[in-house]
Homo-oligomer: A and B are copies of this chain.
Amino acid sequence: MHSPSSSEPSRPFLTWQRILDWATEHYRCRSFSKDERIPTRPGLLYLVQRGAVRLVGTAQISSSASQLMSRRANRTPEEAFLGFVGAGQPFEIVAQSPFTLQSYAHVDQTAVVWMYWHDLDNWPHFRREVLDAFRYQHQRKLLWLSALGQRRTIDRLLGFLTLLVEEYGEPSVSEEDPEVLRGYYLPFPLTHAQIGSAIGSTRVTVTRLMGKLRQKGLLINQGDNLICLPASSVNLLRS
């Protein structure tokens, strides 16, 4: 498995520290509170220093063109959850019709650093890592599209959750015996409405189908309403 963060663990850390120093010195970093929008501009590169960023897409078109004006006034446009960008990972937002991409702090104290691409001329190795990270993210999105291509909503849901936990999961151990691995859980909260917006479904349907998955033992309970999958069904990417 190609994982940009696993190659040469020592050097990236040094470079990373140097980049953070540079960003502080040039006022190119900022901290955001939970669900605060992170303003972005095309052509700029963003790095998540701490916390997690949530990418969201908004549709500008609708098949019900004639009702467009009246409906737009009455409802918020449909937002789709497009994934997380974790600490140490880069992201960029290239605005595009007919959809608009936006980024939000997913947890409190999410810190983001930004730069122009040409600023990376000073750190050619780091530029290479950033580009490799985008290669990796691209491959993950292809898998995500594979999940969303499935006809049954419950299959889309399970595929989607499995991919997220594979990428960001933390081990969940049994309360009685900390030696026993129950499974892996997603350390970020994710509402049923957000899950629905990712898989083309509704909050109500997601709640119902998650109950079904729980009954089948394909989803297990975890504190704080976090999502947890049994260890047998997850291949952690960072192992």
Contacts and interface: CB of A to CB of B under 8 A. Distances in A.
A109 interface: no
Interface string A188-201: 00000000111111
Interface in A132-159: 132, 134-135, 137-139, 141-159
A197 B145 CA distance: 10
**Interface magnitude class on chain A:** 35 or more
Interface in A86-102: 92, 94, 96-99, 101
A78 interface: yes
B143 A96 contact: yes
A63 B143 contact: no
A120 to B, nearest CB: 11
Contact of A62 (B62, B149, B153, B155): B155
Given A145-B82, A147-B59, A216 B1 contact: no
A159 B218 contact: no
Contacts of A148: 80, 145, 148, 199-200
